[in-house]
Structure 1
C-alpha cells in the first residue's frame, strides 16, 4: 500500500558533494517532509543548529544519492519525520535509515511470494506473525517507522552502540553485521534531508556540534579536541599522510568511530628498532606507539605517537569516543601531538589515505574547530 501523492512536498536539501556542516549557536528551521495528506500543508519538524541547506521542490525533481531514486529518498524523509515527531535524536534517524536501506533498499516492499522472508513486509521487513502489526499496518511507512523507533527506545544504551549493534537489537536479523556498510550513505541522506543533522550530538533534537568525546549523529567524534598543526601532504611534507593534532602529553585519544582494532604496535624507526617508550625526534622514523581501527564503509583510521602502550588490543571492538591511549611524542616526532590518518577501502598504504580535515567535517566532527 503506497501513501497518497502529496500536492507539494518540500525537502531541505544540501547537495552532498558540497555539503558544509556548520557549528552554530542559533537554530535553522528544517522542513523535512510536508504535505503527507492531500491537504498539502507543510510541517516544520526540527530546529537544527548544525548544517546548511536550501529548499527544493521535489514535484519538479527529487534528489538522488548514489543508486537511490526519488521514491526511496522520500521514504527516508518519512523515516526522519517520524523520528522528529517522536523527539528521537538525529543518531536514531541515521540508524533507522540505514536499517531500512539494508532491509528493503528504502522501498516499501509488499508480498513478494517465494522471495519473501516468511511474512516480512514494508520498509523494515517487519513480520506481522512476530507481533509488529497487521500486514496493512507494517506496509504504512509512518506506522513501520514508529514501531522501529519504539523498539529502539527499549534498547538500553543504544545511543552509544555501534549502528549495526543497535539495529540488530531491534531487528534480530539473520545477518547481524549487514547494517554497518550502510552507515556512511545513511549519514549522507540524513544530512541531505535534515539540514546537516549528522553534526548533532546529544539525546535531543536541539543541535550542537561534536567535541572531543561527544558523538555526532553520524557516529563520528573528534579523536582529540586540538588545533591542526602540520596538514595533509603539504608542500613541505608531501608524504605526510595525515594531520597533526597538537595536544598536551597524556591527553586522552578517542576512537573516532566504532569499529574493530586491526593493529596495535610499536612502529619501527628507520633503523629497524622498536623504541617507543622514550620520546622521539624528527628524522627518527616510525609512528611510535600506534593503533589502527577498521570502521563501517571500509574506512580505516590510524593514531600515532602515543606516550605509552595503547589501552586496546587487536581484534577488540571499540565504540566511538572510547579512549584508545594518550598523546605522546614517540617515533618520528618533534613534540607531543596526535598524528591522525583516514584511509578508504581499508587500504592502510599511502594510496588509501585521504585528507582527514574535509572528511571529518562531513561527518559533523570538524577537526580543530573548523566548521
Structure 2
C-alpha cells in the first residue's frame, strides 16, 4: 500500500472521529462550524446568486431537494449543481438538433444510449438529479476528491477540468436553496468538510489573530494544537513548497528538528499547498519534515505533517497562513478567519491556549 493510500485511510478514519467528537461540537457547541457560506464576489462584480435567473435557481432547488431525499451530504449537492452548470448552464435542454452532443439531454446532458434512462425520464429534472446522485454515491472516497475529479467520475466528460471553475457559484446556489427550503446541509461532510470542500486543518482553538495591534507582522493565525497533532490539508491541491526555515540569532541556519524560541526567526518546518482557485495555504512550525513532497497532489483531510514547535515559536501550535496567489508573500497574505469563513469553515474558538 502506498503512503498516499495510507494517508487517505488515516485522514478518513481519524477525521470522522474528529468531526463527531470535536469538530462539530468542540468549536462552538453547534454544527455551525461546518455550515457553508455563500462565496463573495469581487467588488463591482455580480454575486453568484445574481448571475442566475429564477428558472435556473428552480432547478438548483430541485437538485438540492433530491439530494436531501437521498441523504446526500451538502458537498454532493455542490458537485451536482456545478456539473449541471457546466453541462447545461442549469437549463433543461431537449434535443438541440445539429447542436446536440450526440443524444445528450437535460440538466446533466445525460445520454439514453449510455444507459441513463429514456429521453422522457432524462428530461425530468428530479429523475436526472437522482441518477446523478446514484452514480456519485457508488464512487469510493468521492467526498474527499476535488470537485472536478468527483464530477468526472460520474460524467466521463471530454472536458474533465471544466467543472472546477463553477465550485464557488454552486456553493452559493446550494447554500441559498437549502436555506430557503429549510434543509440542513451542515452535517455529513466527513471531517466537518464544508460544501465548498474545505476543513479546519486541526481541531484546536484560535489563540492569536492576523496582524493584531500587538503583532502587526503576524501574517497568519495560530491554532493551539498539541505537539504531534496531525495537520490535514485544508482543501485539495498541489504541494508547491516544503522547507525548513529557521535561523539562529546571528543569522546562521538552524535545524528545524529542534524546538525554536523567540530568538530563532523563521517558520520552521512548513509546507504550502496551491488550491484549484489559485489560493495558497501555508502550514508552519511542524514537528518534523512534512509528510508530503513538492508536486504531490493532496486531497482534503490528508495528513501533511504534525504540529510542532520549530522556528520562531514558544510552544507547539499550527501557524496557518492564507494567500490570494502564488508565490505566497506578505503582500498577498489575507486574514485566514475571513478566508475560511468565505469557504464555509469557522476557525474561531474561545478556549484559551497559550502559544506564539
TM-score (norm 1): 0.75
1:201 is matched with: 187
CA distance in 2, matches of 1:69, 1:324: 42
Whether 2:325 is the aligned partner of 1:325: answer no
What displacement does 1:92 show? Answer: 1.2
Whether 2:167 is the aligned partner of 1:189: answer no
Report which of the two has the higher share of helix: 2
Mark the CA change 1:226 to 1:155 in structure 2 (over 3 Å): closer, same or farther. Answer: same
Unaligned 5+ segments in structure 2 are 1-26, 39-46, 351-356
Whether 2:299 is the aligned partner of 1:299: answer no
1:6 is matched with: none
Mark the CA change 1:52 to 1:219 in structure 2 (over 3 Å): closer, same or farther. Answer: closer
Question: Counterpart of 2:331 in 1: which secondary structure?
Answer: helix
Question: Counterpart of 2:75 in 1: which secondary structure?
Answer: helix
Corresponding pairs, count: 311
Whether 2:98 is the aligned partner of 1:118: answer no
What displacement does 1:289 show? Answer: 0.7
CA distance in 2, matches of 1:197, 1:90: 10
What displacement does 1:329 show? Answer: 1.4
Mark the CA change 1:51 to 1:261 in structure 2 (over 3 Å): closer, same or farther. Answer: closer
Question: Counterpart of 2:241 in 1: which secondary structure?
Answer: strand
Deviations 1:33-73 (A, max 9, x none): xxxxxxxxxxxxxxxx95899xxxxxxxxx96252232222
- After TM superposition, list the pairs within 5 Å mapping 1:77-88 onto structure 2: 77-88=61-72
CA distance in 2, matches of 1:174, 1:272: 53
Structure 1 stretches (4+) deviating beyond 4 angstroms? 22-27, 49-53, 196-199
Match of 1:168 among 152, 160, 165: 152
Residue range with higher mean Cα deviation, 116-125 or 224-233:
116-125
What displacement does 1:358 show? Answer: 2.5
Q: Tell whether the 8 Å contact from 2:68 to 2:183 is kept in structure 1 after alignment.
A: no
Unaligned 5+ segments in structure 1 are 1-21, 28-48, 54-62, 204-209
Q: Tell whether the 8 Å contact from 1:241 to 1:354 is kept in structure 2 after alignment.
A: yes
For CA contacts below 8 A with separation 6 or more, give which structure has more relative contact order. Answer: 2
Mark the CA change 1:344 to 1:355 in structure 2 (over 3 Å): closer, same or farther. Answer: same
Whether 2:135 is the aligned partner of 1:151: answer yes
Whether 2:345 is the aligned partner of 1:359: answer no
Deviations 1:136-173 (A, max 9, x none): 32222112111101111221232332222211111011
Q: Tell whether the 8 Å contact from 1:198 to 1:217 is kept in structure 2 after alignment.
A: no
CA distance in 1, matches of 2:333, 2:183: 26
Question: Counterpart of 2:274 in 1: which secondary structure?
Answer: strand
TM-score (norm 2): 0.78
Report which of the two has the higher share of strand: 1
Mark the CA change 1:114 to 1:237 in structure 2 (over 3 Å): closer, same or farther. Answer: farther
How big is the alpha-carbon RMSD for the aligned residues of Structure 1 and Structure 2? 2.9
Q: Tell whether the 8 Å contact from 2:273 to 2:281 is kept in structure 1 after alignment.
A: yes
Deviations 1:75-111 (A, max 9, x none): 1111101111222222211111111122222222333
Question: Counterpart of 1:79 in 2: which secondary structure?
Answer: helix
